[in-house]
Amino acid sequence: MGYYDDHAPKKREKKRRWAVPTVVGLVLGAVLVLLALPALVQTEMLPYDITIPEDESGLTEGEQGLTGNSTKTVDVDVTTQVTEVVDKVKPAVVGVVNMQSRTNFWEQPSDPQQAGIGSGVIYKQEEDSAYVVTNHHVIEGATEIEVVLSDETRVSAELVGSDVFTDLAVLKMSGENVEHTIELGDSDNLKAGEPAIAIGNPLSLNFSGSVTKGIISGTQRAIPQDLNGDGVEDWQSEVIQTDAAINPGNSGGALINIEGQLVGINSMKIAQSAVEGIGFAIPVNTAVPVIEELEQNGQINRAFLGVEAYGLSEIPSSEWEDTLNLPDDVENGLYLRTVSDMSPAAKAGLKSMDVITELDGNPVTDIIELRKYLYREKDPGEDMEVTYYRDGEENTVTVTLSSQE
């Protein structure tokens, strides 16, 4: 016990000797920094700008000394790559106004009235004309179309063509007042987490040129769509997912990358109260071939089979054996409810209640898979081998596809 009592006072004294110089050093360091700050500002050695206001006497805070009560205003340069690319791209993003005529009691058409507003992107200028890509649903049913430029100039536009499955449409207008077109990017190289910027006209033209910023949340998302409103999914769109805010009126606008290149056409938003921050855009690499074909033909020329079909999963399993006479090992397929007269399917001998299981040896389970195969893998005039079951027996037939009207 005596050992600790003898040495305890010395340890406390040692701590006091270190504490005092430390406190003094900190105080002196702070004073030196404050004294040196005005000099550093004048030499412009700081990585940002600081403006020190003058008081009524005309002296700056540094000249007043440390006892003055004046305030400092910090002026930071916020010009970034985002603002620069937005300034470059904005003139190429336009408003698209859907004008429709309505008939009165005597079936006389009225003057066209504004029925809806969306967005569009000027992607090409050729001779005296400019071309705009937008969404099919933005111009659907329009009797007249107007394009509103970034300077609020209104220009009449004609519909070159549109496609319901890709939700794309191409407009042509005078290029007299067009000075900028957008640069196309590569949506195949997008990665989740990289910046994404959406530009469009949410809600109305009062918010034209609105900019929202987020990230790419996901690529190659498959979103089911009911195109005719019958409650049955007709198609699956492969889209880019982003958390940049996309609202009604943004449809048809631009989704750009940090380089200011167009990577997607904003198309839809999950409008549920419990869901936020999920928007979708059509990848530009998917849009370009559709745009080019719409320019050339005014429509997309797709292969046509001529059937109304449903997946077996939509039919009670009890009907599989009792009505369709399907073998136990057939678990998936496409049930034909009707076959159009004079269609390629009818000419090949397919009938209602047949169950298609394979197309060119590839399994098929629902109408979406059928359409994807027809629209992406086949062309009008090509042959397609169809494997199907009728009255419990497997059959194979070759169908010569035609063009969808």
- DSSP-assigned letters across all residues of 138-198: HHTT-SEEEEE-TTS-EEEEEEEEEETTTTEEEEEEE-TT----PEE--GGG--TTSEEEE
What pLDDT score was predicted for residue 294?
96
Please provide residue 232's backbone torsions phi and psi, each rounded to the nearest 5 degrees.
-110, 135
| pLDDT tens sequence across 47-61 | 544 454 444 444 444
Q: Is 251 a catalytic residue?
A: yes
- Identify residue 165 by its one-letter amino acid code: F
| pLDDT tens sequence across 204-256 | 677 677 898 899 999 988 887 777 777 777 777 889 999 988 877 788 999 99
Q: Is 111 a catalytic residue?
A: no
The active-site residue out of 119, 136, 162, 167 is: 167
Look at the block and give the residue holding tokens 């006072």: 9
The active-site residue out of 136, 137, 208, 210 is: 137
| Domains annotated on the chain, with CATH | 2-69 (no CATH), 84-174 (2.40.10.10), 185-297 (2.40.10.10), 303-403 (2.30.42.10)
Which residues are within 8 A (CB) of 401 and not within 5 positions of it... i.e. 6 or more apart?
303, 304, 305, 344, 374, 378, 379, 380, 381, 382, 383, 384
The active-site residue out of 251, 267, 343, 366 is: 251
Q: Are 305 and 400 in contact (CB under 8 A)?
A: no
What pLDDT score was predicted for residue 24?
64
Q: Is this structure's pTM higher than 0.75?
A: no
Q: Extract the residue ranges of the chain whose pLDDT is less than 50.
A: 1-15, 48-50, 52-72, 74-79, 271, 273
